[in-house]
Structure 1
């Protein structure tokens, strides 16, 4: 055998030497034949298509050339495959790309008729013709198609050829491809087509003009039924199926494509135009969230609030399981704008990040008292939403009640630059200006962020805590990974490490416990009294001018983010995070599976003795409790508010050795706040006991008993005018620890009046620098220097 092969090869080589020209021509022809078929047959643009995690169509965006052309499916449904083969090319699975018998019959019939009455093209030839943009039908073009068809048969399997045909065949109008035709004419995916529907679509590429609604119905039905009869005769379908199929009506009008997540479709179309993307969206949840969005839109638009956005995240893999980029509003209110990625004023939504950062850095403990008094810092005067003051409030309550003044004072203590760097680690990309551009207003909405980045941040925090608890106190280096809507994508969370990524698990757990105490919306105030209530760590925010209402919440698996407002930036008086965004948040959490609350990350916490009243680390003179604190909590300050005081036997007066015998003194622990904090604190806490006055005749230093509420030292004050152009006075305010004490006011050493009980003094100084002096009846004196500008 081997010798025969060798003799054959030698004979061929000898023939080539004797026929060099013929051999060269043959080689050129072979090379031309091999490369005659383009590597990419179809270069036309495709529609962008998104599907749910379950494979259901969520929406599609038309291709760049104005054609509804879906990307090719992995496979063609068996019903359509049978129908199109029996209608177009019965010998499809047997010929090499062309059918000479069929071509001969077509040639004879067309010649007799003097026109084209029958086509002899195989499905393979039709694929080639479609790829060549349906060039004019000539005998030369037929010859080219024949050659390219044989080449295509060599390159691709029969199944692949049929898939290409189904994806690029014309189905009438600007509808191209089986999948789009199935949705357009029957409103279902192609795998759900009946035999009658599959037969209808199988005959359309042969005469796509037949599909126009209300026209050519008789011809279309005749072609469809003839194909169904053929399928019955060939025993592809049985008689009963045939009888039912021919009784089905023809399509009468086109169906609209599903638009379940239109703004996610926009997002995908920008990054992956012409792709078919199976997303992570839960279609059933998405439909329910759409209903909630529509319900609240109909409610809020009555108050001229026309836009909203909702994002739901599964924190396990950062997958987006629901995406509502805007309300079902109209074009006049920018319905096509995807607000999820739009920068909006943050309001109070960043406060938990500051609280967590300070806990993690050892700057405070959960119950540490923070001042809540009238404050002015370098001309910046923050105010609480309800325009009241608590004097002093535990840090976790300041967060749960979203008090502005404590947040500003906490940021001042933590440092704007440090908090700014923390936000950069979270990759809040819209906070991009220099820290001094924002100043202390950074914590109250002076910066902008977007729902996508904020939800990613909270998802990263939740996942940090979960992973720490389930992996023996370890973190992941890329825990704050990007959110993902592509079901085929696996996020990279980096390597395991004992070093925290941004925040420690202990600080996050304590922050979530504080957020879980946030007052819920009006309709859900009694949530704690129901066994079925969900524990959710959540926070609202309202921007200046009531332009933006935020609510973001998390449990151990999901993060839900809500924004409500107007895309135009117009504010509305009743628009707030707690009244507008929070109800939406809780309605969505009620759709989600219930989750267990976070376990305490014991490896990142330790027990500490904490002062009951001040929340600081306890000193020996404090009433104490044991509390979980972050590992760095040990470096926080010891309670500065408890001190030992000496009283007489009646406990009505303070004494010292100058006025009382030591054996007659009673020593007692006393909780004492600074005067301004005390002034407001005691109005909120009836059990607060001011220090008793000193007994008459006692000598020695006296404890300061009063302080300025307003103004702060060296403040610059601008006097304003009313509607009658009359200059309005500035109101000076002082707090005194002894309620009935009388104090005396001086402006530049000139006496201007006295006050008792409520210490407020209106003055209208001239422009320039002035000194305010206040003296109480015991001779205690305080001063302030101010600058007046009209």
Structure 2
């Protein structure tokens, strides 16, 4: 019997072990099946954030709420959050965050002991990773046993797929702070009006306390509960010797906010444009400078209010060297319906008034038939049926060209445009990147020199930015794509001509609130007082200002010099930087008084006007006539086509130029056969030995 008893005990033990093995296998199988039923981690959904628009330095310009109305901003704990807050959070919520694998046995043991000894849950024992698992899936019963097991399993999965920094960043983006606020950045901005890069001890402790019970501690509903929860965090940190009693007492004396602040809405028009261009990008970086944008928006708003009802203001600032937009104020107030605030007036096509005049003068300087010190007539004149008049209906007689531009005299500008050619001006501005809008089925004409064409403020500012860049423009850029900048420079005018225009505009008399000689600028007023303009530049930036009614209605007395120029000078003052000098004169620039200029440059001559040089008859192109249309026979091939040029007067030898390029000399019979250029407008110039010149513009067909 004694031998049988041990065998029975062994069989019983084996049976128990087999039963336990079967139970364990069944449990393991069931648990594995349950884990499999959980599906993959919802990381893609958890990583969705509000679209944020940031400036060139990473500062937040504007954020857009998610489709369900939640504010959840992307966050990087190392770059975006005060390290003292992170230390406080981990000390309070998960002291062993950096070493555990998603579950902290010590914390779970402490929670179980407190439950047994006190009869209720004191702490949940959840790690940051377990809390993240709960936030990612949001189960119905956060404190149930099954929910806790689910969190443990998910926490282990999270730790296998993400590193500690990624886990912390994701938690800081998803943690609830009451209402539709999620994440540390949304909470800090909404409650303190600032990014969480620098937080006081009181602010950090409050942000640690809120996610534990976000709805019952909402600052805008239950500030007293939030206050008490914050103080409990501080008391525990004192007991653990992480915060001094004196610092905690000072933090406790700080009141908690009771109202939410508005999310920042800087550069709303640029932000709207960016998000419509890059619909699926979570973070869009613009070239704007938030600091400059922040001071120009109230400037536009305040000046519009002072100017009267329904008036709006648009301002754009451009970095000359890069073409990057540094600030764009599309209206006087984005939410001001009376001023059509959501209409971006920097992109609206309006009449530019006199603001295209500098480019007329620039082409005249480039062609070499006029100099800033040349004399020009400001007298009544007629071009066919068109008779331009000065703004004040007076005339100043003979004036230097530079004064005619500085005082924006209309008659000299139109006389120069007639010599330069309206089509050539239009083509050159388009070549430089500006989109000019002419009336339907209308060709460029002399009226465009006084505003008879449509242009946007951004294009106008881009053209002006080419002057301090010595005649080179760049397409504007506002969205930074992070890649290589492939924009090519475009030609506006010759470097010497651009420098001459900029130098002349530097001498324009400033408005009452400005100091002369610091920035170069030009004003303009469109027909019927509908648009007032002012565009100015120094060596670093160009700023353009538009003032008017968005609906295009006239505003009697709205003049560029009195309405837009003061805003321009205030805008430069608010940049906070001293004006940067313009470039020095490039090689080849002629700097001389009128008396020392070559004879042909001392006084401007209109096309066809004869000037005598001594006793000799002045040089004059007899054929082709100015403005004529030349039909060229190309039936025998392009090389067989010729066009005669005949001149009278002048001193030999004489050189013939077509569109600025030499094509040979006039022969003894005072004529020459030249190869005609391709179809279109052509500028034909003859220069004689004394430097006298005559020019005609013809149309080749």
Whether the TM-score (by the shorter chain) exceeds 0.5 is yes
Change (3 A) 1:556 1:132: same
8 Å contact from structure 1 (residues 98, 125) kept in 2: yes
Q: What is the distance in 2 between the residues matched to 1:356 and 1:133?
A: 67
Instruction: Name whichever of 130-139 and 500-509 sits farther off.
Output: 130-139
Q: What is the distance in 2 between the residues matched to 1:595 and 1:245?
A: 45
Match of 1:85 in 2: 90
Matched, 1:544 2:547: no
Secondary structure in structure 2 of the residue aligned to 1:345: coil
Question: Match for 1:580 among 563, 573, 595?
Answer: 563
1:515-546 per-residue CA deviation (whole Å, 9 max, x = no partner) reads: 2232332565xx5xxxxx43322111111111
Change (3 A) 1:126 1:639: same
Match of 1:123 in 2: 128
8 Å contact from structure 2 (residues 52, 63) kept in 1: yes
Q: What is the distance in 2 between the residues matched to 1:352 and 1:290?
A: 28
Change (3 A) 1:194 1:598: closer
Question: Match for 2:206 among 200, 203, 210?
Answer: 200
Q: What is the distance in 2 between the residues matched to 1:523 and 1:238?
A: 54
Question: Match for 2:65 among 62, 66, 70?
Answer: 62
Match of 1:482 in 2: 476
Change (3 A) 1:564 1:201: same
Match of 1:503 in 2: 493
1:631-674 per-residue CA deviation (whole Å, 9 max, x = no partner) reads: xx9x99999445669xxxxxxxxxxxxxxxxxxxxx9x99xxxx
Change (3 A) 1:111 1:407: farther
Q: What is the distance in 2 between the residues matched to 1:589 and 1:214?
A: 40
Matched, 1:512 2:515: no
Instruction: Name whichever of 234-243 and 503-512 sits farther off.
Output: 234-243
After TM superposition, list the pairs within 5 Å mapping 1:494-643 onto structure 2.
Answer: 501-522=491-512, 533-591=516-574, 592-595=576-579, 597-606=581-590, 617-618=598-599, 640-642=610-612
8 Å contact from structure 1 (residues 481, 492) kept in 2: no
1:410-466 per-residue CA deviation (whole Å, 9 max, x = no partner) reads: 33332222222111122223537788344332222222222222222222331236x
Matched, 1:73 2:76: yes
Change (3 A) 1:336 1:374: same
Q: What is the distance in 2 between the residues matched to 1:332 and 1:184?
A: 28
Q: What is the distance in 2 between the residues matched to 1:600 and 1:221?
A: 63
Match of 1:451 in 2: 457
8 Å contact from structure 1 (residues 461, 480) kept in 2: no
Match of 2:306 in 1: 299
8 Å contact from structure 1 (residues 80, 198) kept in 2: yes
8 Å contact from structure 1 (residues 129, 135) kept in 2: no
Q: What is the distance in 2 between the residues matched to 1:333 and 1:604?
A: 49
Q: How many residues align?
A: 581
Change (3 A) 1:443 1:34: farther
Change (3 A) 1:119 1:399: same
Change (3 A) 1:436 1:418: farther
Q: Which runs of 5+ in 2 are unaligned?
A: 1-28, 619-701
Match of 2:226 in 1: 220
Q: What is the distance in 1 between the residues matched to 2:409 and 2:307?
A: 26
Q: What is the distance in 1 between the residues matched to 2:223 and 2:64?
A: 29
8 Å contact from structure 1 (residues 360, 503) kept in 2: yes
Deviation at 1:134, TM superposition (A): 4.8
Secondary structure in structure 2 of the residue aligned to 1:517: coil
Match of 1:99 in 2: 104
Matched, 1:315 2:320: yes
Change (3 A) 1:588 1:182: same
Matched, 1:44 2:48: yes
Match of 1:232 in 2: 238
Q: What is the distance in 1 between the residues matched to 2:227 and 2:591?
A: 81
Q: TM-score, normalised by structure 1?
A: 0.65
Change (3 A) 1:87 1:593: closer
Secondary structure in structure 1 of the residue aligned to 2:529: coil
Match of 1:713 in 2: none
Change (3 A) 1:322 1:433: same
Question: Match for 1:160 among 166, 173, 181?
Answer: 166
8 Å contact from structure 1 (residues 317, 491) kept in 2: no
Change (3 A) 1:503 1:291: same
Q: TM-score, normalised by structure 2?
A: 0.72
8 Å contact from structure 1 (residues 345, 448) kept in 2: yes
Change (3 A) 1:463 1:140: farther
Match of 2:389 in 1: 383
Q: Which runs of 5+ in 1 are unaligned?
A: 1-24, 466-475, 528-532, 626-632, 646-666, 671-790
The alignment yields a C-alpha RMSD, in angstroms, of 4.1
Matched, 1:146 2:152: yes
1:454-485 per-residue CA deviation (whole Å, 9 max, x = no partner) reads: 222222331236xxxxxxxxxx8xx5242447
Higher radius of gyration, 1 or 2: 1
Q: What is the distance in 2 between the residues matched to 1:171 and 1:594?
A: 44
Question: Match for 1:401 among 407, 416, 424?
Answer: 407
Q: What is the distance in 1 between the residues matched to 2:222 and 2:590?
A: 81
Q: What is the distance in 2 between the residues matched to 1:642 and 1:35?
A: 96
After TM superposition, list the pairs within 5 Å mapping 1:677-756 onto structure 2.
Answer: none
Secondary structure in structure 2 of the residue aligned to 1:605: coil
Change (3 A) 1:543 1:111: farther
8 Å contact from structure 2 (residues 74, 173) kept in 1: yes
Deviation at 1:279, TM superposition (A): 5.2
Change (3 A) 1:573 1:121: same
8 Å contact from structure 1 (residues 310, 560) kept in 2: yes
Secondary structure in structure 2 of the residue aligned to 1:540: strand
Q: What is the distance in 1 between the residues matched to 2:301 and 2:416?
A: 39
Match of 1:340 in 2: 346
